């Protein structure tokens, strides 16, 4: 491909569907003759629907006539064959744990990955039992199991973590394991819940071939220590695992891991988080709101939104928006009601759903008589909300819900609109469930209604509770990646309070692998370029 610098274009969506017109626009912007351009290759694509018009923002490379054939892009990383006993135990086979094992393998370090849940294929059966019959397996559900919470929660890959690493390297690895190549181009890449399990399976197969060891149904129950040096783990089965380092990457819902860390005296902190509801609309309503007359355009797909407000002195924002998606029961314990959302790769479902949540900080704890100095205080509030939601729904993971216009008007809903949530919904005045979260949420929605007419309407429904936005506990780590209280313990990813999604968790897994290698005096080589801030 030519070494000419890529061209930045802002074009009507029609242009993306017409290669000749795209080539013409790119040639004009580059000040070259159209006939001299063999091809215009889209390197990056984003949608700008601000200010009442819809444009595609493209980064385009020009391939000129007479240029040599483009060189192939970087291929997948070839992992070395590892030997010997595992030196590292990784708690959790989510993106943080899996990518930590991937990076350790590149460094020649054998890891043992301990996952409380089941492999991704078997995990599907437990999800089906939960969705169809309300039967919850506390160790195998939408949060726990191979691939972590993201495996069956959409597979969104967009992140604001560019300063923390080379995102492109993670995306290329995912493509090598079967993710669609479009994730290398889209500004908001997404694999889809229907495709991500195969990607996760291919990743594990490669890691196992290299020598990484995976153990499922292996729930960590306690740290084993020599003084304040971690020497391994004790599993719920009673088995002891002896290693030189333990990486804690358990995901945002592993309350038992937080508890055994507290019991061992590991340094923990309360971490602000957010809770609220999941709002669902017909997808075509969101398409019209965002794209107007271009709703349904083939180059645009299903529309999404991102909302941020200040209301009643706190932040209120949308979270994990799923165009063309579905809501699911995401509880991890009996008697607790949690909802989440996902989209298939096509994003062609009938509905659009997104979390709509309120910040929960130290002031919120204090109003409930809890101390922010208690690192587990946020878990107390989280559990209370989930238990109220479960009781309000009447059990069986049926969800309490309210029509969105009724919620904003503070009136009861006589009936509810159609909804994708599979366990069913019952009309409830959500103030009784949300408590002090309701006023800022209501005020924020009133602000939104003034600029997004139709967003707060009778077709929209609010469903409780969206409470697992992030981990309310941080397992503290020092600049060297280790716990300041326990040598050999490396907190990692979303469950340790250091990530907020698949990509940032994957990058943090690489960061932890580099931290281990540095602690052991190993050369990290080219791997160091993946994480600019590592160490």
347 plus 452 within the same structural domain: yes
pLDDT over 80 at 70, yes or no: no
Whether residues 266 and 277 fall in one domain:
no
Residue 383 falls within a domain, yes or no? yes
Residue 70 domain flag: no
Average pLDDT, integer, range 257-284: 97
**What is the spatial distance between Cα 258 and Cα 365, in angstroms, rounded to a whole number?**
18
In 3D space, the residue among 286, 284, 274, 275 whose CA is nearest the CA of residue 456 turns out to be: 286
- The whole-angstrom separation of Cα 266 and Cα 376 is 13
- For residue 119, pLDDT beyond 60: yes
d(CA 103, CA 262): 28
For residue 512, is pLDDT > 70? yes
Which of 466, 494, 516 is where one domain is finished?
466
The angle that helices 196-210 and 120-133 make with each other, rounded to 10 degrees, is 150
Which of these three, 441, 466, 491, is where a domain ends?
466
Q: Are 493 and 97 in contact (CB under 8 A)?
A: yes
Q: What are the tens digits of pLDDT across the range 167-199?
A: 888 888 999 999 988 888 988 888 877 888 899
Residue 2 lies in a domain: no
The pLDDT value recorded for residue 525 is 81
In-domain check, residue 326: yes
d(CA 409, CA 151): 37
* Same domain membership, residue 520 and residue 461: no
What pLDDT band is residue 74 in, cutting at 50, 70 and 90?
Answer: low
Number of domains comprising the chain: 3
277 plus 245 within the same structural domain:
no
Residue 208 and residue 309 share a domain = no
Mean pLDDT of 348-377: 96
Do both 94 and 55 map to the same domain? no
Element (H, E) at 224: strand 220-226
242 with 107, same domain: the answer is yes
Q: Is the pLDDT of residue 534 over 60?
A: no
What average pLDDT does this structure show over 155-163?
61
Q: Under a CB-based contact definition with an 8 Å cutoff, are residues 403 and 426 in contact?
A: no
Cα separation, 136 vs 143, whole angstroms: 11
Does any domain span residue 367?
yes
Unique residue bearing structure tokens 């599907």: 124
For Cα atoms 475, 481, 486, give the angle at the middle one, nearest 5 degrees: 60
- Average pLDDT in the 141-157 region? 84
pLDDT digits over 225-240, tens only? Answer: 999 999 999 999 999 9
Over the Cα atoms of the chain, what is R_g?
24
d(CA 5, CA 446): 45
Same domain, 264 and 278: no
Mean pLDDT across the chain? 93
pLDDT, mean of residues 90-112: 97
The one-character DSSP state at 181 is G
In order of 55, 297, 437, the CA distances from 51 in angstroms are 10, 18, 31
Q: In what order do the strands lie in the sheet with 7-11?
A: 7-11, 55-64, 37-48
More confident residue, 344 or 76: 344
Pair 249, 335 in one domain: no
Residue 277 predicted with pLDDT over 60: yes
Residue 483 has pLDDT above 80, yes or no: yes
54 with 93, same domain: the answer is no
> What is the predicted pLDDT for the residue at 73?
63
Q: How far is CA 116 from CA 68, 93, 130, 139, 237, in A?
A: 51, 9, 18, 6, 11
Quickly tell me which residue has 């990484």 as its tokens: 212
Task: Report the percentage of the chain scoring pLDDT > 90.
Answer: 82
Same domain, 12 and 40: yes
Asked, for residue 71, whether it belongs to a domain, the answer is no
Tokens of 423: 């366990």
At 520, the pLDDT band (50, 70, 90 cuts) reads very high
Three-state secondary structure along 376-429? CHHHHHHHHHHHHHHHHHCCCCCEEEEEHHHHHHCCCCCCCCCCCCCCCEEECC
Which residue, 466, 500, 518, sits at the end of a domain? Answer: 466
> The tokens 């020092």 sit on which residue?
478
In a domain, 80, yes or no: no
Q: Decide if pLDDT at 157 tops 80.
A: no
Angle between helices 196-210 and 95-106 (to 10 degrees): 30
pLDDT band at 163 (very low <50, low <70, confident <90, very high): very low
For residue 261, is it within any domain?
yes
Angle at 349 (CA atoms; ends 149, 54), nearest 5 degrees: 100
Please state which of the ranges 63-77, 238-252, 380-394 shows the lowest mean pLDDT. Answer: 63-77
Say yes or no: 495 and 395 in one domain.
Answer: no
Going by pLDDT thresholds of 50, 70 and 90, the confidence category of residue 509 is very high
Q: What is the pLDDT of residue 195?
A: 85
Q: What is the CATH number of the domain that holds 187?
A: 3.50.50.60
| Structural domain for 462, as ranges | 273-466
């Amino acid at each position: 491909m030519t070494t000419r610098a890529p061209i930045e274009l802002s074009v009507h969506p029609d242009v993306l569907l017409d290669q000749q017109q795209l080539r013409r626009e790119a040639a004009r912007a580059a000040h070259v003759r159209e006939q001299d351009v063999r091809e215009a290759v889209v390197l990056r694509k984003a949608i700008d629907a601000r200010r009442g018009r819809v444009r595609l923002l493209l980064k385009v490379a020009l391939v000129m006539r007479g240029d040599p054939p483009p060189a192939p892009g970087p291929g997948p990383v070839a992992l070395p064959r590892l030997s010997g006993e595992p030196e590292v135990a990784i708690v959790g086979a989510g993106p943080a744990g899996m990518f930590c094992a991937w990076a350790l393998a590149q460094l020649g370090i054998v890891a043992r990955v301990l996952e409380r849940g089941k492999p991704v294929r078997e995990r599907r059966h437990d999800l089906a039992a939960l969705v169809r019959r309300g039967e919850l397996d506390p160790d195998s559900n939408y949060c726990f199991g191979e691939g972590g919470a993201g495996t069956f929660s959409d597979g969104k890959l967009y992140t604001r973590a560019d300063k923390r690493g080379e995102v492109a390297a993670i995306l290329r690895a995912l493509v090598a394991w079967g993710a669609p190549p479009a994730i290398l181009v889209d500004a908001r890449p997404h694999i889809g819940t229907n495709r991500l399990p195969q990607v996760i399976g291919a990743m594990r197969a490669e890691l196992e071939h290299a020598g990484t060891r995976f153990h499922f149904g292996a729930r960590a129950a306690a740290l084993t220590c020599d003084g304040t040096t971690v020497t391994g783990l004790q599993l719920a089965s009673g088995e002891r695992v002896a290693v030189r380092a333990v990486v804690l990457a358990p995901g945002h819902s592993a309350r038992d891991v937080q508890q055994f860390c507290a019991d061992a005296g590991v340094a923990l902190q309360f971490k602000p988080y957010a809770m609220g509801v999941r709002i669902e609309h017909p997808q075509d309503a969101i398409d019209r709101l965002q794209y107007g007359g271009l709703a349904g355009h083939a180059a645009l797909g299903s529309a999404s939104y991102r909302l941020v407000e200040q209301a009643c002195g706190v932040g209120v924002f949308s979270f994990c928006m799923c165009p063309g998606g579905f809501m699911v029961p995401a509880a991890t314990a009996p008697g607790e009601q949690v909802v989440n959302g996902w989209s298939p790769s096509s994003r062609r479902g009938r509905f659009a759903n997104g979390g709509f949540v309120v910040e929960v900080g130290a002031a919120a704890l204090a109003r409930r008589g809890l101390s922010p100095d208690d690192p587990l205080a946020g878990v107390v509030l989280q559990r209370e909300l989930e238990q109220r939601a479960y009781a309000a729904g009447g059990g069986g993971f049926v969800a309490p819900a309210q029509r969105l216009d009724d919620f904003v008007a503070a009136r009861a809903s006589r009936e509810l609109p159609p909804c994708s949530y599979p366990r069913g919904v019952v009309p409830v005045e959500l103030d009784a469930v949300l408590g002090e979260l309701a006023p800022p949420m209501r005020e924020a929605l009133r602000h939104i209604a003034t600029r997004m007419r139709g967003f707060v309407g009778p077709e929209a429904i609010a469903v409780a509770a969206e409470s697992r936005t992030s981990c309310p506990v941080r397992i503290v780590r020092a600049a060297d990646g280790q716990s300041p209280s326990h040598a050999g313990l490396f907190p990692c990813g979303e469950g340790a309070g250091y990530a907020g999604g698949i990509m940032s968790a994957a990058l943090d897994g690489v960061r932890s692998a580099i931290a281990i290698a540095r602690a052991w005096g190993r050369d990290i080589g080219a791997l160091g370029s993946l994480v600019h801030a590592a160490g």
